[in-house]
Chain A
Amino acid sequence: MSRLLEIRDLHVYFDTPRGVVKANKGVNLEVDEARCTGLMGESGCGKTVLLLSILHLQQPGRMVKGSMSFDGRDITLLEEREMQHIRGRQIALIPQNQATALNPSYTVKQQLTEAIRVRREGMGSPMILSWRFYRPNADELREIEESLREVGLDNGETMHRLLSSYPHQLSGGIRQRVLMAMALLMQPLLVMADEPTTALDRATKVAVLELLRKLRQETTLMVVSHDLQTIRSICDYVAIMYGGRIVERGPSGEVLNNPRHPYSQILLSCQQRRRGEPLVVPSIDTLDLINPPPGCSFHPVCPRAMPECAGFEVTEKLVGNVRIACHLFTEERRNC
């Protein structure tokens, strides 16, 4: 298994009138080829910023520190023009909000054609001015239909209707699939899906999960979600984020079944509670990302906080197969 993406000590800051928002502060993450990596965390923990930073789309945020390499190549300081070659064609992003990610004034066919054209000819193609730009030829049409079939939109009769539909005519689940088809048409090395299952109802969610599971066989996948079911059913490797930092990461079986970081324990227990079980949830409210608490940012609400939690910055420690950023653990022996 070769390493596809490697992120080292990434810091992304946003300048706001109120102060500097530290959205990512010291993220380390490796994504191996043909593995599905899951990023879990609540809103505001910096998971979407991390995804966007990989594509250098984090504007207006600034990458302050850290390095990223993709496919053996350092992409930290890559020029915008070169990034355009990587975006879509090597790393595809399935965006968070399927309701707004498709252009409302083009049909599904036109948007998918655009994806093919961009893949084949790049941004600078003079074709973009041609009125035929959005008209696929027979080969391209076949490819489009193939890609839609791949995401489970296969039905001889409805295919025609689907292709000539505008995004607002489609349900959320279908839009999500069209976006996936679009990402796949680019034949990327890495597919990143941002919250692919939120805002979908149960039946659609089950189907989208099925699809992601299938997709996982074919390409490297990175999934951002706060939904345990999504992560559990498709990911082999899980990273849990809190306050701009990855607090625990490791093989999904170990992290999800036996979370060690106090925050992971709370986050996961919330979603697999049984009836009548006692509550262990401390009051976590939005973390102040401008003036984060000193030391470990989780310590003010951590049920197992110790005095040194406020004093020292946490570093990742390898415990078994899992890397944990918490003062409760030390490299050599497992505490409690």
Chain B
Amino acid sequence: MRKQFDGGDTMARVTREMVEKSGINVNQLVELLVKNAAAELTTYYYYTILRCNLIGLEGEGIKEIAEAARIEDRNHFEALVPRIYELGGKLPEDMKAFHDTSACPPASLPKNPTDTKAMLKVLVEAERCAVRGYTHICNLTAGKDHRTYDLSQSILNEEIEHESWFSEFLGEGPSGHFMRKGEYSPFVSKFLR
């Protein structure tokens, strides 16, 4: 790691050493976390557009739950950033490059934004990509990097709920959930203090 600062030691040296010692390639882990942070921030942006276009009676029906997923994905970005820096990484200085490094494709507005089913398909596929991404990080870090595992598992729990919400709206089956009212990020909020 290139030493950029004059504090006498490298950022969170022991934190990084412990993760390295467990057998994880820390540079690869940091790169994965940056890609997933990019996915969260870009999803927050694209979900803003989707939510704004959920109009009419049908759109209104899913607007609130799309908003809950949107805010929670922004919270996921906020929660990931400190861990990236703790592990000696950083966010790219170029935001366009950051966008393009995303672990998931853009959740772009469908051709017909008044087609609520098409909107739900975009939303559910974005969540499915996130579920795969955090499952992967959990698998890599379980029993090895306890903090990243705790963080990734917390985010994964929320992404699973997001997927189930949109899947239920698509009529794919009961999710067992009722949407959250008021409080966001029941799993990730402990990382947002």
**Genuine A/B complex:** no
Which residues of B come within 8 Å of A, CB atoms? Answer: none
